[in-house]
């Protein structure tokens, strides 16, 4: 039986070669041979992405995301459950979609996954012509973003803080709080391109000018 370290090395080499089919094959081996490892949860999630985006196989993607979500990994299971919710939405299984997204969106402590899940819930309500529900969820997302910004500030994570400030600025604009949105975006801008990265810095400038 191939050991996990060897499989992960093979995976890295195939990634460098952009061999997507080979990467899926190695991930299937990780899941089969090392099912209880954290690497298996990540592999399941990324196999699901492969089914969804490369192979265009939505039912198989749903199966893999559901399996990854059931493993209770703090990062990869939340990512998988978010993707699972979106897949259900595209299958027009509305209540199942919202159920899965709410599981991610309302944890005890805000996370990157939770604010992402709330953004998708907000978008779904908007698409379905339910603006009051969308606004309510947006308020929850704004509160969580504020918590993430404070956490990043206390941890000295300037790039993460800048990203959350940018996201908060956009959410506040959508919420009709233009003055506060501008202040938040100016705070992000002050971090500069060296901290934010060129792409995010450009996005912040564009958002300020909207």
Q: How many domains is the chain built from?
A: 2
Q: Which of 29, 61, 92 is the last residue of a domain?
A: 92
Does this model's pTM top 0.85? My answer is yes
pLDDT, mean of residues 195-203: 97
pLDDT, mean of residues 143-166: 97
The pLDDT value given to residue 210: 76
pLDDT, mean of residues 141-157: 97
Q: Does the pLDDT value for residue 209 go beyond 90?
A: no
Q: Does the pLDDT value for residue 1 go beyond 90?
A: no
pLDDT, mean of residues 20-30: 97
One domain, residues 57 and 118? no
d(CA 78, CA 91): 20
Going by C-alpha positions, the residue among 109, 81, 115, 79 that lies closest to residue 96 is: 81
The pLDDT value given to residue 24: 97
d(CA 201, CA 194): 9
Can you give the CATH number for the domain in which 63 is found?
Answer: 1.25.40.10
One domain, residues 87 and 130? no
């Amino acid at each position: 039986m191939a050991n996990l370290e060897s499989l992960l090395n093979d995976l890295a080499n195939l990634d460098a070669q952009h061999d997507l089919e080979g990467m899926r094959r190695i991930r299937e081996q990780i899941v089969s041979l090392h099912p209880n490892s954290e690497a298996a949860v990540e592999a399941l999630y990324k196999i699901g992405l492969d089914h969804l985006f490369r192979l265009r196989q939505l039912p198989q993607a749903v199966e893999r995301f559901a399996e990854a979500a059931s493993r209770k990994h703090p990062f990869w299971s939340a990512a998988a459950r978010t993707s699972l919710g979106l897949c259900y939405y595209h299958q027009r299984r509305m209540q199942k979609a919202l159920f899965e997204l709410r599981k991610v969106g309302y944890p005890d402590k805000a996370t990157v996954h939770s604010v992402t899940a709330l953004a998708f819930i907000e978008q779904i309500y908007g698409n379905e012509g339910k603006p009051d529900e969308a606004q309510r969820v947006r308020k929850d997302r704004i509160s969580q973003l504020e918590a993430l910004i404070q956490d990043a500030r206390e941890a000295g994570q300037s790039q993460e803080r800048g990203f959350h400030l940018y996201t908060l600025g956009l959410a506040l604009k959508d919420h009709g709080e233009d003055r506060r949105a501008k202040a938040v975006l100016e705070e992000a801008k002050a971090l500069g391109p060296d901290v934010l990265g060129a792409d995010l810095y450009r996005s912040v400038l564009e958002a300020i000018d909207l």
